[in-house]
Amino acid sequence: MRLINVNTLEIEVFQGANFPKYAILSHTWGPDEASLQQWTNRLTRLRRMKSAGFSKIRSACKQASRDELSYLWADTVCIDKSSSAELSEAINSMYTWYEKASVCYVFLADVVARPQGSLDTLDLVRQSRWFTRGWTLQELLAPSSVVFYSKEWIQLGTKNALAVLISGVTGIDEVCLQKKKRLEEYSIAQRMAWAANRVTTREEDIAYCLLGIFGISMPLLYGEGQKAFKRLQEEIIKVSDDHSILAFTTELSEGTVFAHHPSAFTKGRHIHPNFAHKLTAPFSMTNAGLSITTPLIQTLSPYWVLALLNCVEIDPRHDMRRSMIYLPLFGKDNRFMRARTPVSIVCKTLSGNTPYAQGTEIQDLNRQTETSYYISYFNRVYNVYGTEMDIAMKGFELGLGTTAPMGFMIAFPRGMAGYRLHSAYPPNDLRLDISFFIQKPCSLEKNLYGPHVKGLLVFEKEHALTSRFVGVYLAGSAVEYKSEVTSCQWECRIVDIPDAFQPKDSADILKSIEGPLGGLGHFPSVRYHHSGNAVVEANTHFKTSGGEPCSDAVMVEIVFDVDALLQERQEVLLIEQKIWRTITHSG
């Protein structure tokens, strides 16, 4: 490790971990930066000391001396960038060097100091280029002591004192900035989100600047482009079982396994790891793709499933509501490809130690049945399945020239428990290939709230003589402005279906249902309904990727074995109580 002696300005070399206390400089690079070769040439150093690249190092040395520190580290002159081996070692060590520094001086070259406490100065700090660069993220997070300086080298404040301001600019929690919470306690998606809007001069550096933040070491290969970020993610899954690395949006990511850039995690700020029930099974890369074990949720489509990730989205704007994260996957025979953005499905908070929450609503409809599957690298058509996969993918294109404003995606968190789909009304509006109920734009009814989607799904219990049928009523309205959906209302209900039911009876049954939407919007609408041994819940509304197969979608979760679900919950509760009594008595 090279350090600048702040008294002589000469560079000294220290081997291993035996180095003195030092200050460290954080800054953004300009066109006139110093280099190791220039700094070690005394004559060149003297001649160029007034240039921007040299003067900021000199000012940092003076500040270190005032702080009774004898050494300073600055990246421009303490790394020999002509040596690829040294550059690689330095980049892999940089987080540690910033972490071990006694103090980090942040030089904001674009901030001119105003009178102390001036709002103008704080506004300039917020807008500083320093907060937009990739490398400065670890330089903010790693050191315990960070002091900000203006262009004139006037102190602007410390990281702790400016924590609220910095949190507002960066999206990083104040407790993280103040070192009250360890970096490892944040999910991969959260840490990626902090880098989402940052940029680097070289494409590969957006990956290399994050190595220390994820505790990763890997060789540098300049010229590999976006592959560097893919390699980073491959290295992360070797040491972490956090599924939030998969919770990125897919609009711009060409691969089906990993994100192309941290910007794909823009919405990941509130995604937290969830290891509440048990340790997560390891997942890893294979020659077939990503191998992972996690519960899968069935849909009406033979090709689409929802994979449960071990992370939750916690919304601070809505009473810290917790939402489970599901990854839509496309394929069959436990070999899938990723084709859509993750969906957050509401998981209500438990009230005490009861399997119920918020009145009579069951807390979580998912069955923890693990399934192994692969997510392949292929973008669209997985050749193993040929045309049938291609046909299913084309199910996301209505082919009508107009996209429906709203639709329902149908899912079965606990499987279908011996039921099968008997009929749908209107019959042509259920898209089995993609498990969506969508009324065609040309046939949509209208009410005061805009296009009105409504229909009836009827499920039949196989080999049952009585109580054969369960009906699910769905209705929704989308408010549009200039062809954009601005808001939606919807409801779902379990409907009693007579044993003598025939598909031709659907229209009459539908007319007999007087729901909030059918009654021209007498809300609040029903989004959870429990009747007999069945439950339907529709609490998750999301925008679809690219507006296909509809602009806005609502996730409908249907469970046919509520009695078994409650029995499972009761057994889990008894086990937890037994464990708690054992711990209490042994303590």
What are the backbone dihedrals phi and psi of residue 191, each rounded to the nearest 5 degrees, phi first? -65, -35
- Which range of 83-92, 368-377, 413-422, 566-575 scores highest in mean pLDDT? It is 83-92
What pLDDT is attached to residue 98? 98
What pLDDT is attached to residue 485? 74
Q: Is 269 exposed, middle or buried (0-12, 13-18, 19+ CB in 10 A)?
A: buried
- For residue 359, give every residue at least 6 positions away whose Cβ sits within 8 Å of its Cβ, in sequence order, or none: none
Which residues on neighbouring strands pair with residue 105, listed in sequence order? 25, 147
Contact 271, 287 (CB under 8 A): no
DSSP 148-199: EE-TT--EEEETTTTHHHHHHHH---HHHHTTSS-GGGS-HHHHHHHTTT-B
Q: Residue 55 and residue 52: Cα distance in Å, rounded?
A: 5
Q: How far apart are the first and last CA of the chain?
A: 50
* Lowest model confidence (mean pLDDT) among 48-57, 205-214, 346-355, 477-486: 346-355
Cα distances from 376 to residues 171, 231, 384, 480, in angstroms, run 32, 16, 11, 37
Residue 65 has pLDDT above 50, yes or no: yes
The strand pair at 550-559 and 534-543 is best described as antiparallel
Q: Which of 314, 400, 323, 264 is nearest to 557 (CA)?
A: 323
* Lowest model confidence (mean pLDDT) among 101-115, 134-148, 312-326, 483-497: 312-326
At 181, the amino acid letter reads: K
Cα distances from 533 to residues 112, 368, 423, 563, 564, in angstroms, run 68, 19, 20, 6, 9
Residue 349 has pLDDT above 90, yes or no: no
Contact 421, 459 (CB under 8 A): yes
Q: Which bin fits 537, alpha (ψ -120 to 50), beta or left (φ > 0)?
A: beta
| pLDDT higher at 190 or 379 | 190
**Percent of the chain clearing pLDDT 90 (strictly above):** 48
List pLDDT tens digits, range 124-149: 999 999 999 999 999 999 999 999 99
**Percent of the chain clearing pLDDT 70 (strictly above):** 77
| pLDDT higher at 156 or 279 | 156
The strand pair at 370-375 and 404-412 is best described as unpaired
What pLDDT is attached to residue 152? 94
What pLDDT is attached to residue 544? 73
What pLDDT is attached to residue 252? 57
What are the backbone dihedrals phi and psi of residue 95, each rounded to the nearest 5 degrees, phi first? -60, -45
Alpha helices in 251-361 (DSSP H): none
What pLDDT is attached to residue 519? 45
**Mean pLDDT score of the chain:** 82
* Confidence grade of residue 580 (pLDDT, cut at 50, 70, 90): low
* Confidence grade of residue 386 (pLDDT, cut at 50, 70, 90): very low
pTM here? 0.79
Which residues on neighbouring strands pair with residue 330, listed in sequence order? 304, 337
Which residues on neighbouring strands pair with residue 315, listed in sequence order? 321
* Confidence grade of residue 247 (pLDDT, cut at 50, 70, 90): confident
What pLDDT is attached to residue 378? 35
List pLDDT tens digits, range 534-553: 999 988 887 776 667 788 88
E strands, 391-519, are 404-412, 419-425, 430-431, 436-437, 445-447, 450-461, 469-481, 484-495
List pLDDT tens digits, range 20-45: 999 999 999 999 999 999 999 999 99
What pLDDT is attached to residue 486? 78
Q: Which of 195, 229, 199, 210 is nearest to 133 (CA)?
A: 199
Contact 458, 300 (CB under 8 A): no
Cα distances from 154 to residues 105, 347, 380, in angstroms, run 11, 50, 55
DSSP 339-375: -S--EEEE-PPP-TTSSEETTTEES------EEEEEE
Longest CA span, the chain: 99
Contact 162, 188 (CB under 8 A): no
